[in-house]
Amino acid sequence: MKDALFMFPKASLLANVVDMLDAIDMADRDTKGDLYEYMLGKIASAGQNGQFRTPRHIICLMVEMMAPQPSDAICDPACGTCGFLVAATEYLRDHYGSEIFKNAKSCRRFNEETFHGYDFDSTMLRIGSMNMMLHGVENPDVRYKDSLEETHVGDSEAYSLILANPPFAGSLDYESTAKDLLQIVKTKKTELLFIALFLRLLKVGGRAAVIVPDGVLFGSSKARKYLRKMLVEEQKLDAVVSMPSVVFKPYAGVSTAILFFTKTNSGGTDHVWFYDMRADGQSLDDKRTNLLDSELLGPVPTRVLKPEEHDENNLPDVVLTRWKNLAGETDRKRTEQSFLVPKADIAANDYDL
């Protein structure tokens, strides 16, 4: 780690640390990975380039909803510490472990061809690569790339699943933006350029789950409106999950949502599913303390939540109850927490989401 200082004030403290580490079973892959994730969680300040660590439970929610397959090529073009890719590796191991490791060919595919990440912060790349290796992926494709400035000749239509939380505070000038992205949407806003990038990188039939600021859903600028119309009319917009504005506290209090879409280049949006997430298992203040026992947090708790527990953690309701049973959502009123909206209604509302 560049410029890192590693000092112990006295020898006895170093001896204590060594003894404590010696007691941890390091043969267990999860121990090292969990330890590293814990350390990353303590990096509480935002990066110089506006990076925020996406909370682990939100990453897990998106991965559960996307349900990666062993055949997927998964990409995060703003990967940071590789949180999305790590969660995808764990999902694949848990659900398809025997299939992935049945022979040398499938094992090599998992280690070398499944996970792809880019970032333009070299420190983040080192942290992210280390994170992937400690979680048992031997040779992930994590590399330096300024996703919005370089053209994507080699990566165009290369991936079947994109999971990302792209930076969305900045704006680029037209000169430094990749020309193939400006052909999709002419804008300087990074959050819109990243959605154009995802459409460029996805294969036809590929799926994406991405975090966007609320302004993308209803902003009245020409570029925002055009992008929404394109997602609804030319691609397949699957779902919009709005999140509490405190999800990224203590870094930022920006209101965000998760967009789920499939690249078709031929339309296919019939209905769009909306979910209003009001609680994510943590307190809605800057402290973000857990409101439930650890086994009841996240999108897949160890048992079904009671109604009062659901009021503290909506994530299992999103994934297990609603998303996996969309047929049951058709009759729900728009005053409820989730509902389906026909494409015609969205078009009539001038593509305001």
Residues 6+ apart with CB under 8 A from 202: 157, 159, 160, 162, 208, 263
User: Residue 83 falls within a domain, yes or no?
Assistant: yes
If we measure between CA atoms, which residue out of 44, 61, 324, 49 comes closest to residue 190? 49
Domain hosting 105: range is: 25-348
Helix axes 56-66, 83-100, angle to 10 degrees: 40
DSSP state of 324: G
User: Residue 1 falls within a domain, yes or no?
Assistant: no
Average pLDDT, the chain: 90
Report the Cα 5 to chain-centroid distance in Å: 31
User: Residue 7 falls within a domain, yes or no?
Assistant: no
User: Residue 11 falls within a domain, yes or no?
Assistant: no
Tokens read off for 13: 């403290």
Average pLDDT over residues 263-279: 96
User: Residue 14 falls within a domain, yes or no?
Assistant: no
- Per-residue pLDDT reduced to its tens digit, 221-248: 999 999 999 999 999 999 999 999 988 8
User: Residue 151 falls within a domain, yes or no?
Assistant: yes
Structural domain count of the chain: 1
Specify the 3-state DSSP secondary structure of 340. Answer: strand
If we measure between CA atoms, which residue out of 64, 110, 6 comes closest to residue 322? 64
- Per-residue pLDDT reduced to its tens digit, 46-103: 454 455 678 889 999 999 999 999 999 999 999 988 999 999 999 999 999 999 999 9
- One-letter amino acid for residue 267 of the chain: G
pTM recorded for the entire structure = 0.89
CATH number of the domain that residue 105 is part of: 3.40.50.150
User: Residue 55 falls within a domain, yes or no?
Assistant: yes
User: Residue 173 falls within a domain, yes or no?
Assistant: yes
Specify the 3-state DSSP secondary structure of 239. Answer: strand
pLDDT above 70 covers a percentage of the chain that reads 94
